[in-house]
Amino acid sequence: MTMKISSSSSSMLSLLLVFLFVRLSFPAQAQTLTAKKPPVPALIAFGDSTLDSGNNNKLLTLLKCNFPPYGQDFIDRIPTGRFCNGKVPTDFFVASLGIKELLPASLDPKLKPEDLLTGVNFGSGASGYDPLTGKTASVLSLPDQIKMFKDYIENLKGIAGEERAAAIISDSIYISDVGIDDIINNYFALPIRRKQFDISSYTDFIVNLASEFYQELYSLGARKIGIVGLPPGGCFPSQRTIAGGITRECVELYNQAIRMFNSKLSKKVEMLGASLSNSKIIFIEVYNVFDDIIRRPSNYGFEVIDRGCCGTGKIEVAELCNPSTPVCEDVTKYVFWDSFHPTEKTYKILADYIIKNYLPKLL
């Protein structure tokens, strides 16, 4: 008995055969449509408001920003707790590595197991190397962040197993950005440390605390650590207002202290990198780049360097930059978002510089 095949059935059969031929002939075709495997499994961050992506939301502190106009240029205009109009540096870092789009806060209640596998952010706005800095602001000190990291490791073992968790911990990149609050909002703003130290001995004090922190991080398995130096905080709008005189100039005394700290920390980091085996520990210099932005703003597309976009821009930060506070018409013209924190555009410039010049050294 002969079976007749209709013309429509014949056409469908021909298409199916062509599809199968293509699949068998080009098995790797589907792979070209997928992203490359990230060079590291995760990115993990420690620090202050430069990196905080929402941890302070869960703390009893005034140093919060989980309300408008913060986040006005973030995804869906959501105020996540990032001290910015949009993304912060770690978001750009993790995206550039192809790990994920954003680095979530470790205290984010919406964290999923896959978030832990690819890294979280322990940063807390107003934290510092000096425990007194975080305590004064009622935020997470670096010892608090280390404790949370230890808990993170245990949770990671529960999700991935001990062997894979150990690999994730050792192969991941660690970024820290902390210390500006020690100098600006602790030493120069409060009397306690100034009674105990001159600025040279205080920078020695916090550099030694920094060394202890990174050695402990290493003891917990971290091997690829990028330590970001401090920017010229004396040029922050709030500091110009508080100590810059009638003309609101950059406060050179503060910048001198910051440069002293950066110099000492970079030398300490070099020593750590040489003494801790199988490690890549680097100091990430950003002072000069930020200083150049402030000195030659037009080269970067900026017009306003001495005020933030929020309110008058001279003093508003955190609760003082709130839903009732007006904002500038064009945030892209401003180096600073509020009186203490850069705009997303500024962060992107700094992040791109770090991505190009420093992240490859940690791979």
Q: Which residues are catalytic?
A: 49, 338, 341
Q: What share of the chain is helix, strand, coil (3-state, %, to 5)?
A: 50, 10, 40
Dig out the tokens for 170 from the structure.
Answer: 């050792």
Dig out the tokens for 295 from the structure.
Answer: 């000195």
Rounded Cα distance between 320 and 175, Å, is 29
The packing angle between helices 344-357 and 287-295, to 10°, is: 140
CA-nearest of 360, 349, 252 to 301 is 349
DSSP strand pairing (304-308 vs 334-336): parallel
CA 285 to chain CA centroid, nearest Å: 15
Task: Give the Å distances, CA to CA, from 258 to 71, 234, 266.
Answer: 29, 9, 12
Rounded Cα distance between 191 and 236, Å, is 21
CA-nearest of 47, 101, 36, 37 to 226 is 47
Find all residues with CB under 8 Å of 216, minimum gap 6, and list them.
146
Dig out the tokens for 21 from the structure.
Answer: 């031929």
Q: Sign of the CA dihedral 352, 224, 151, 129? A: negative
> Can you give the length of the chain in residues?
363
Task: Give the Å distances, CA to CA, from 216 to 85, 118, 143, 317.
Answer: 34, 21, 10, 33
